[in-house]
Chain A
Amino acid sequence: MADHAPYPPATGHAAEPATGRPHAHDSAHLHVTGAARYIDDEPEPPRLLHLAFGLSSEAHARIIGIDLAAVRAAPGVVAVFTATDIPGANDVSPVAHDDRLLADGEVIYHGQPVFLVAATSRRAARIAARLGKIDYEPLPALVSVAQAQAAQSLIEPTQRMARGDAAAALETATHRLAGRFAMGGQDHFYLEGQIALARPGEDGQIHVLSSTQHPSEVQHLVAHLLDRPSSDITVEVRRMGGAFGGKETQAAPFAAAAALVAALTGRAAKFCCDRDDDMVITGKRHEFEVAYDVGYADDGQIAGLRLLLSARCGATVDLSPGINDRAMFHADNCYWLPAVEILSERLKTNTVSATAFRGFGGPQGMLAIERVMDDIAASLRLDPLAVRIANLYGPGRDVTPYGMTVEDNIAPALVARLRETSGYDRRRAAIAAFNAASPVLKKGIALTPVKFGISFTTTHLNQAGALVHVYADGSIQINHGGTEMGQGLYIKVAQVVADVFAVPVSQVRITATRTDKVPNTSATAASSGADLNGMAAHAAATTIRDRLVAFLSEEHGCPANAVRFGADGVVAGEARVEFAALCRMAHRARVSLSSTGFYATPEIAYDRAAHQGRPFYYFAYGAAVAEVVIDVLTGEHKVLAVDIVHDVGRSLNPAIDIGQIEGAFLQGQGWLTTEELVFDPQGRLLTHSPATYKIPTASDRPARLTIDLWDGENVKPTIYRSKAVGEPPFMLANAVFGALVQAIAATAPETRRLPPLDAPATPEHILAAIAGHLAP
């Protein structure tokens, strides 16, 4: 019995290109058999220490004293560390140097790590971590958005993005309304919790296995923490058991803690965080409150809009500037806003620092404008879809509030197609008839579009490196800066490289992401993984192929353009050679069969001070129709049917892409329905386990869910004209929220008001929205 997939001899040639085909995930055979290794599955090194943090019991307080005698005396404890034990910088933050590994003098959120226990077992470390006696002098704690607003507690000045004279447009518009609305945060709930394993090497070097989307940042932070050069620290990650943005910056404290203990004790150290601790310690999606004032015409077309986006950023800066910028960038969604002012208020609170999560602020900005669309439609008693269509970008009205022209505006065509294929109009009529005859159950339907900007909005992050080795037997190893968290990045890049050499993708061995192979990488984030790393790997592979072409053309005296890599092998003029034989020949002829590759996204430039420019290389689009039913007696709801059309350009791998679309959609549905984070007035997170925090289960998936890919290719020369897919489909779930609003509206269909539904649409929020809607 073989515990690995059959690995073909490296003589194959691909009958057809690998890209564009539905290859299974490269690790699928390992996942289903339990053979895929995650960090906690690695054999444990001898004398391994297990780690746990002692956590703050206060949301905001000065630390008067720390008594760790009981911790040190607990069975199995080998060492206990506080901030003063850190040789270098006590800093695990991505940008602003304001996240401490261990609290130093002050705690700024409930659950913040204060001290670090190293013990001979995980249970011993966890038990001991609860025995610390810390004296606090409580300081005033700001927990809610309202408290932070009142105190004008901000992580950075309020940002303004504007065009035209919104105030004047509001004054002169035919209709005008104002509204507000709130949406909750979201826990990532990656199934593999935060984990790192650090091993001390010789001469001060440290090797860290970290479940991180950003190995380079972990490397740099560990180096600064230990006061070592980056070249002494190697960070490696083969795969994560889910991440969704939650391991972009939030993996760092666990890796830093493990590295610290390894450096200070000389023993290997593992931090496998308990689920409840993980949920308390680490950041989540930003909670937002939205206020709007909109002027519009009889058909619902917006004349002017003022929008205030207020985000609870938590105790530190983390990635909140970029996340809130992206909320502003997506407050137009697919809609032309002729005169607009978007204000973005970034509130500092004594709660865990909010962080990256699939969509990175985009979902909140986009849901805000969809709410405005629904409100306009309610006031005019129009079909919300008619109002959306009236406001779509179009010729002569195709510039975003930040001054970027929408070049490939496929949203109108995509919406029209979905309206037709989903039977939206017929179903809307059928639903109205159903509702008229059904006192307890009310249905709703909504169609919402998505336009999502692709690129890191911090321009310099849009770069990637890769390293490709071709061995003399014709087998190929690839490595790049992107990390695999389940999204299928590795198989996509392997497909790209396989096609460069016209070999089967099974001939390409994908290796773990390591900072000693590809340095100075960006996080695998912003949906950019395949765009950036696919291009970098393509460049590396093409460099090697070019060398092979030059070698063959010289060998056979034919021009370079007569050398072809194809299904029948490598052809050079009249000669034909197996790829593996060619590699052997090239090696003997002393041709280098290894190369790096590099890619930097062209065209993008952004002036953040003015909030104008081209932050995105291109847009990805999609649209969804959702049909829901609610119970007006209890607030229960069910998503009945969802139809999706989504744009991935020319798909690199339709199976992977459809998987991303479905998974993102359901995660978005969870954000807007069952997933509710509850903090108490003291700033304690009450929903810190799957017993109280409810992500969707299988039965929450709509009984009917159809996903069609839009036929088209990227207008930009991305890797094989594909488009990014990780984040955009998350926002397809806005249709679910819109449909729920329509179902609630059906309890009083004659009113011109929008039901006051806040997200997530829990039974409690739905019942409250019904009461609000029925109130005189």
Chain B
Amino acid sequence: MTVRFLLDGDVVQIDAVDAADTLLDYLRGHLGRTGTKEGCAEGDCGACTVLVGTLDGQGQGLIWRAVNACILLLPMLHGKALLTVESLGNAGEPDPLQACMAENGSSQCGFCTPGFVMSLHGRAIGAVGSDLPVPDVIAGNLCRCTGYGPILAAADVAPAHPRDDAATVAALQSLASAETVSGGTGGRRWFLPRTGEALAGLLGENPQARLVAGATDVGLWVTKKLQSLETAVFVGDIAELGKISEDGPGLVVGAAVRYADAHAAFARLHPDLGELTRRIGGLQVRNAGTIGGNIANGSPIGDGPPALIALGATLTLRSAAGRRSMPLEDFFIAYGRQDLAAGEFVESVTIPRPGADDLVLIGKLSRRFDSDISAVCGAFRLSLADGQIAAARVAFGGMAATPRRARVCEAALTGQPLAPATIERAAAALRDDFKPLDDVRGTAEYRLQAAGGLLWRLWHRHLGEKVSVLDCAAAHG
């Protein structure tokens, strides 16, 4: 009935935890650790970045992740280790990274700084994503003062800082539990099942329960909509839902696999899928948000589904009664309505590997490249045979109430030669497929035009031309 986690090696035990209690509030309010800041309380600025360590699959080592404390709900921390900015050096004796940042002018107002320190400390200790270029490591941290240069410069000179986690591993092993952990206050309940079977059982008993994986969406219901969570089932740490298998003809990805953990496998499946993954949220969001959550919440602007639909993914649902599978596109029935029966949960998604003759393009269009939500996300898989398009799968997000295939466009492509005239007809066909909305991310006209632009991008890339501004360097002065 209590949440236990390790903070700087000490066990912190919290009784009477509500599912909607955030780590940030607990740190600042109860522990007086005010170095971790609230910038937005919606996982978009990174001022509250902390590092969370989880036992690896073998129970031998720790996997550290930078995450946003503002939308990390306390039950999710059970059985894990936590580092905050106060865990590092202090003003009199800063750790090497902190010293580099202080000397490099990496802070101006200083409010975002602890978050950057934690993201970069994660990189120094080999946390998930530390192999990424520095701008990607800090893409989820906003700074409004410095222009980032002095932060990037400090990251370049700060030394790697491997940790000895042996004592932490031992302590976490003693906290680990194979049984479902539960708690709650005020008549509200939460559960941390450890197996798919336990989850299926819980859902059978509590069909109205809210499933929470990474809380990158549900967290905002708490902090922005000010909702409470009556019955919450946290699924992010169910080991069997966290597996990726690359052995078969494609990828089988468990629903609780975090985007950060799928990144490499996705990039191996197709570079565009890797690039799309790089641009889903910042690292903190990818360290929390799961593939299954991104599908199950049914958002019309989730970035995973259009790409996976175009690649031909199938979804596996599970309940106490058993499993069933369906093409991913069939899961999305209407806005806010998915083909998910009471007691069912998303278990895994299977993504076929594109063939050698498949032409794949995935494009995400947004105001900002990093940590933004798509205005349009388009994905194409054209199977070529003798210069003809034998089969076409085209899917878009941001163009309709659900992620959806563009059947008219697909028909305009299928059986046709891969040629400009075909592309032109297929791009025009998108206007028959979609009647998008004008909204905060773009007008309907822009969406239609840019969606067609992505199809043309596929053609120009096929010709061997450079098509992304991200692949371009400056002229030499």
Q: How far is the CB of B224 from chain A (nearest CB, A)?
A: 6
Within 8 A of B (CB), among A41-99: 41, 43
Residues of B within 8 A of A (CB): 28, 32-42, 44-45, 47, 84-86, 88-94, 98-99, 101-103, 105-114, 117, 134-136, 138-139, 141-152, 224, 226, 282, 363, 365-373, 375, 439-443, 446, 449-450, 453-454, 456-457, 460, 465-470, 472-477
CA distance A722 to B252 in the complex (A): 63
A437-461 Cβ-contact flags toward B at 8 Å (1 or 0):
0111101010000000000000000
Contacts of A424 in B (CB 8 A): 477
| A→B interface (CB under 8 Å) | 1-6, 24-25, 27-38, 40-41, 43, 123, 126-127, 130, 188-193, 239-244, 272, 274-276, 422-424, 426-427, 430-431, 434, 438-441, 443, 445, 485-488, 627, 629-631, 633-638, 640-641, 643, 655-656, 658-659, 662-667, 674, 676, 678, 686-687, 689-692, 694-701, 703-705, 762-764, 767-768, 771
Shortest CB distance A35–B (Å):
5
User: Contacting A698 at CB < 8 Å: which of B102, B138, B373, B441?
Assistant: B138
| Complex CA–CA separation, A419 to B433 (angstroms) | 50
Tell me, in angstroms, the Cα distance from A127 to B106 when the chains sit together: 37
Q: Pick the contact of A33: B89, B147, B375 (CB < 8 A).
A: B89
Known: A4-B92, A764-B442. A34 touches B102 (CB 8 A): no
Query: Please, which residue of chain A has its CB at the minimum distance from the CB of B441?
Result: A692
**Set B101, B107, B146, B440: member contacting A678, Cβ < 8 A:** B440
Known contacts being A2-B92, A32-B113, A695-B144, is A655 close to B465, with CB within 8 Å? no
Interchain CB contact under 8 A, B139 and A663? no
Given contacts A32-B101, A33-B94, A638-B470, contact A701 B148 (CB under 8 A): yes
**Which 7 residue pairs are nearest across A and B when measured between Cβ atoms?**
A34-B35, A486-B109, A241-B111, A2-B92, A423-B477, A31-B110, A633-B453
Contacts of A694 in B (CB 8 A): 366-368, 372
9 more A-B residue pairs beyond the given contacts A25-B108, A34-B85, A633-B460, with a C-beta to C-beta distance below 8 A = A33-B86, A240-B109, A275-B40, A422-B477, A631-B469, A697-B282, A699-B136, A701-B152, A767-B449
What B residues does A768 contact at CB under 8 A? Answer: 446
Closest-CB distance, A27 to chain B (whole angstroms): 6
CB of B39 within 8 A of CB of A275, answer: yes
CB closest residue in chain A, given B39 = A191
Q: Are B466 and A441 in contact (CB under 8 A)?
A: yes
Closest CB in chain B relative to A4 CB, distance in Å: 5
CA separation between A434 and B472, bound complex, in Å? Answer: 11
Contacting residues, chain A, for B441 (C-beta < 8 A): 692
19 A–B contacts, CB within 8 A, in A order: A2-B90, A3-B91, A24-B105, A31-B107, A31-B110, A32-B98, A32-B110, A191-B143, A274-B224, A275-B40, A662-B146, A665-B147, A686-B440, A692-B440, A698-B134, A699-B136, A699-B370, A700-B368, A764-B446
B109 and A705 contact, CB distance less than 8 A? no
Give Cα A662–Cα B41 distance, bound, in whole angstroms: 27
A630 and B469 form a contact (CB under 8 A) = yes
Closest approach, in angstroms, between the C-beta of B216 and any C-beta of chain A? 11
A440 engages B440 (CB within 8 Å): no
A591–B135 Cα distance when bound, in Å, is 56
Other-chain residue from A123, A434, A704, A763 in contact with B365 (beta carbon distance below 8 A): A763
B37 in contact with A191 (CB, 8 Å): yes
Contacts of A27 on B, CB cut-off 8 Å?
107, 110
The answer to whether B135 touches A697 (Cβ under 8 A) is: yes
* Residues of B contacting A656 in the complex (Cβ-Cβ under 8 angstroms): 105
A699 to B224, CA, bound (A): 28
CB distance from A282 to the nearest CB of B (A): 15
Determine whether the beta carbon of B144 is less than 8 Å from that of A667: yes
Q: How far is the CA of A4 from the CA of B438 in the complex (A)?
A: 53
Q: Is the CB of A34 within 8 A of B144?
A: no
- CA separation between A636 and B365, bound complex, in Å? 8
With known contacts A29-B102, A31-B102, A6–B92 Cβ distance under 8 A = yes
Cβ of A36 to closest chain B Cβ, rounded Å: 5
Complex alpha-carbon distance, A427 and B93, angstroms? 47
Interface of B is mostly: loop
**In the complex, how many angstroms separate the beta carbon of A148 from the nearest chain B beta carbon?**
22
Bound form: Cα–Cα A24–B42 in Å: 32
For A663, give its contact among B89, B147, B457 (CB under 8 Å).
B147
Interface SS of A by simple majority: loop
Most chain A CB atoms below 10 A, which of B146, B151, B370, B474:
B474
Distance A641 CA – B477 CA, assembled complex (angstroms): 10
Assess the A631–B468 pair: CB atoms within 8 A: yes
The distance in angstroms between the C-alpha atoms of A445 and B215, with both chains bound, is 43
- Of B105, B145, B473, the residue contacting A640 (CB under 8 A) is B473
Q: Which of B42, B117, B142, B443 contacts A695 (CB 8 A)?
A: B142
The answer to whether A698 and B449 touch across the interface, beta carbons within 8 angstroms, is no
CA A36 – CA B94 in complex, angstroms?
13
Q: Which residues of A contact B450 (CB under 8 A)?
A: 633-635, 763-764, 767
Could you tell me if B42 and A690 are in contact, using CB atoms closer than 8 angstroms? yes
- Chain B, Cβ-Cβ closest to A625: B477
Q: What's the minimum C-beta distance from A658 to chain B, rounded to whole angstroms?
A: 8
Q: How far is the CA of A602 from the CA of B113 in the complex (A)?
A: 39
Q: How far is the CB of B100 from chain A (nearest CB, A)?
A: 9
Of the listed residues B150, B373, B477, the one surrounded by the most CB atoms of chain A closer than 10 A to its CB is: B477
Q: Contacts A627-B474, A690-B42; is A701 near B149 (CB within 8 Å)?
A: yes
Would B476 and A423 count as touching, CB distance under 8 A?
yes
Chain B nearest CB from A727 CB (Å) reads 14
Task: Report Cα–Cα, A272/B29, bound state, in Å.
Answer: 13
The docked-state distance in angstroms from the alpha carbon of A763 to that of B92 is 47
The distance in angstroms between the C-alpha atoms of A143 and B475, with both chains bound, is: 43
Contact A662 B367 (CB under 8 A): no
The distance from the CB of A128 to the nearest CB of chain B, in whole angstroms, is 10
In whole angstroms, what is the CA distance A691 to B226 when docked? 17
- Interface pair A439/B460, CB less than 8 Å apart: yes
A29-B102, A191-B144, A686-B440 as given contacts; A698 in contact with B94, CB under 8 Å: no
Cross-chain contact A130 with B226 (CB below 8 angstroms): yes
Q: Which residues of B contact A427 (CB under 8 A)?
A: 474-477
Give the docked Cα–Cα distance between A423 and B84 (Å).
Answer: 46
A430 contacts B147, CB within 8 Å?
no
With a CB–CB cut-off of 8 A, which chain B residues contact A5?
A: 91-92
Given contacts A5-B92, A767-B450, contact A663 B108 (CB under 8 A): yes
Instruction: Evaluate contact between A699 and B107: CB separation under 8 angstroms.
Output: no
**A637 close to B469 (CB less than 8 A):** yes
CB distance A40 to B38 under 8 Å? yes
Minimum CB–CB distance from B187 to chain A (whole Å) comes to 14
Contact of B147 among A4, A243, A426, A662 (CB under 8 A): A662
Counting chain B CB atoms within 10 Å of each CB, the highest count among A1, A243, A686, A698 belongs to A698
Q: How far is the CA of A676 from the CA of B88 in the complex (A)?
A: 37
Q: How far is the CA of A659 from the CA of B346 in the complex (A)?
A: 48
Contact A32 to B93, CB < 8 A, known contacts A126-B226, A486-B145, A694-B372: no
**Interface contact A41-B111, CB-CB below 8 Å:** no
Would B454 and A633 count as touching, CB distance under 8 A? yes
Q: A634-B454, A689-B42 are in contact. Are A763 and B467 (CB under 8 A)?
A: no
CB distance from B352 to the nearest CB of A (A): 27
Q: Is the CB of A643 within 8 A of B477?
A: yes
| B84: nearest chain-A partner, CB-CB | A34
